[in-house]
Each structure stands twice: as structure tokens, then as C-alpha cells.
Amino acid sequence: MKYKLIIGIALVSLSIASCKKEVENPDTNTSFALSDSMLKNTTTAEAQTQPVKNVLSFYGKITADNNKMIDVYPLVGGNVIKVNVELGDYVHKGQVLATIKSTDIADFEKQSIDAKNDLLVAKNQMKVAQELFDGKLNSESDVLQAKSEVNKAQSQLSKIQETYKIYNIKAGSIYEVTAPISGFIIQKSINQDMLLRNDRSENIFDIAEISEVWALANINEIDINKVKLGIDADVTTLSYPDKVFKGKVDKIFNVIDPETKAMQARIKLQNPEYMLKPDMNANIKLSYNEGESMISVPSKAIVFDKSKNFVMIFKDRNNIETRQVEVYRVVGDITYISSGLKENEKVITNNQLFIYRALNE
């Protein structure tokens, strides 16, 4: 009887030990397999060794491309009789922005009339000189002098006509201010009935073509050595916090602003929908290489549970392993792994949470 009792206790102990072993190895689940539909919708990515990147965050501002922005100045003074555009309007090259009635234009018109009259007189005098020469009543030099006067008068008239083209002069002492490029009116300092002085030095419009804009990042002195040409940049704004505009640092201004104690770096951004506006505040993240390399996987492959990080290692539909890993750093959509994963191992990048629960709960 005592012998049977000892055997029974031993069997119970073995059973408990077996159950304990199963609890301690949740990765093992020989009964789980991906269905055909699940397998079709499951994607994987290979763990890869790549340079470790870090991210620097800076404040900055959106500006127009200086190469695609023009200040518009009035070429004459006078009374503004009409303004056809408002701040923020899109204008086309050659479009009339404002109309000015100018006494300067009246002077040009008088000069044009005088030049035409001078040319007519010079031609008549040359005709007379030629007739006198034909009648042997004057010398050839008189004819040449008359022709010279015609050429001078013609040159003066051509000069005035060229001025008409440049100033876009219309009849009635009217001067039209036109757009030199297509773009948005980003600055306006002219209104109807305003009197413009002919010695005015300030522009009346700024026009910018903003299908491509600049983001200017203010780089702190401590980070200057980390910012290099060509590094990736992610730009967000308060207006579109969920929209990331991607670009690269294409210019570093190697000058420290005495007020901000910062250096500026420029990022060119494509802006086909005109979402970004000049003078918008921007948050700018710059990614740079730290110099070492490490195993990396897509960030979406990581499963966080019970204060630990896991990945699902895919070998085949019947062989999927839950593997704990040590995360070194997360940089956007890339996670760097310091231990627990080897290069070229496949990790599941979607449906991984469902598979994790099926294997471990």
C-alpha cells in the first residue's frame, strides 16, 4: 500500500512538471498554422543590418523659393485708379495687377509726339537736300548731313517706343502694372486712390511661385556638426500635423545668426497642392547616421506586451516563433534591434498581433 502511494505521488509530480514546462515555453505551439486566407494577407520583411540613424528636431519656417519670387515696383508715380488683385490671389504672367494715371506718362507721350514730328521734319529736310543736290544747288555733304539728322530722329523715336514697351504705357497717361511671373500675391502695399511718388523705393507687390518651397531649420550650435548635406528631413506644420513633407538638406548657411545663435539649413519641398504657405511655422526632423550599424526591422513588426518587445519569426505557415528582442532605438518606421534577432530572419509585418495572441494566449 505504501509502495502504491509513492508511485502515485511520483506520477502527480511528473504531471505538474510537464504542465509547468508548457507554461514556461509559450513559443511552442505545434497545433497553430496559418489558414490560406491568412497566409495570403500576411506580409514579412527580412531583418537587415544598416547604419543606425538618430533624429534631431528643430523649429523652422516655410519660405518661398527666392529664385521664384519677384518684387514688383511701379516704374512711374501717379494716382492709383484701380487695383485688380488681393493678397493671396493667384495671378498669371502678364495679368494686369493695378492701373496708375501718371504725369510721368504724359511726359513720355509728349516726347513721343515730339520725336515723331522731329523725324517727319528731318525726312522732309533730307528730301529737299536731295532735290537741291540733284539740281546741283548744294553739295553731297549737305545730303549726308540731312541723312544723319534722319537717323538721329529715328533713333530717338525708337528709344521712346522701347520705353513704351518697358513701361507698358497706354493712351491717356495710363500705366498698367503687370505680373512678371505666374504665382501668388504674398505681399501687397497698394490701394485704390493711393498717390505714388515717382521716387518711391518700396515695392507694391510680391509674387511667389510656390509649387516648390523652402523649409529653413534653425540649427542649434551643439548640433551643427551632425547636420550634413543630403540627410533626410521630415517636415510638419501646425496646419497639417498628420501630413509629413519629405525632403533633403540641400544647403547649409554657414553663418550664425547673432540673435538666435543658430545656423540655418535649407530643405526644398515639393508643394503641388499649395498646402505649405510662406511664413508657416514648421517642425523639422533631420535624420543622421551615428556611425555604427545594427539589425533593423520595420517598426510595425514589433509587438509590445507585458513591458517587453517581441517579433513573430516566420519560417513557414506551420512554423512561427514568438521571439523577444531588445529594442535599441525607434526612428520613424525603422526599429533597431540590439539583441534577439539575426540578419535575414523574416519577421511578420501585418497580422502579427493576431498571430501573437493565437500563439501565446
Tell me the three state secondary structure of residue 32.
coil
Whole-number pLDDT of residue 39: 87
Whole-number pLDDT of residue 206: 96
Whole-number pLDDT of residue 283: 97
Q: Burial level of 308, CB count in 10 A (0-12/13-18/19+)?
A: exposed
The contacts of residue 42 (CB under 8 Å, 6+ apart) are 34, 314, 348, 350, 351, 355
Domains of the chain listed by start with CATH number: 27-52+293-360 (2.40.420.20), 55-67+211-291 (2.40.30.170), 72-98+177-209 (2.40.50.100), 103-172 (1.10.287)
**C-beta neighbour count of 82 within 10 angstroms:** 14
Cα-Cα-Cα-Cα dihedral of 7, 8, 12, 14, to 10°? 20
pLDDT tens per residue, the chain (361 residues)?
Answer: 444 433 333 333 333 333 334 334 445 455 678 888 888 889 999 999 999 999 999 999 999 999 999 999 988 888 999 999 999 999 999 999 999 988 877 777 788 888 889 889 989 988 888 888 787 878 888 888 889 998 998 998 888 888 777 776 666 678 889 999 999 999 999 999 999 988 888 999 999 999 999 999 999 999 999 999 999 999 999 999 999 999 999 999 999 989 888 999 999 999 999 999 999 999 999 998 888 999 999 999 999 999 999 999 999 988 999 999 999 999 888 999 999 999 999 999 998 999 999 888 7
Residues 188 and 88: beta-carbon distance below 8 Å: no
Strands 195-196 vs 96-101: parallel, antiparallel or unpaired: unpaired
Q: Which bin fits 118, alpha (ψ -120 to 50), beta or left (φ > 0)? A: alpha
Tell me the three state secondary structure of residue 268.
strand
Whole-number pLDDT of residue 159: 87
Q: Burial level of 328, CB count in 10 A (0-12/13-18/19+)?
A: middle
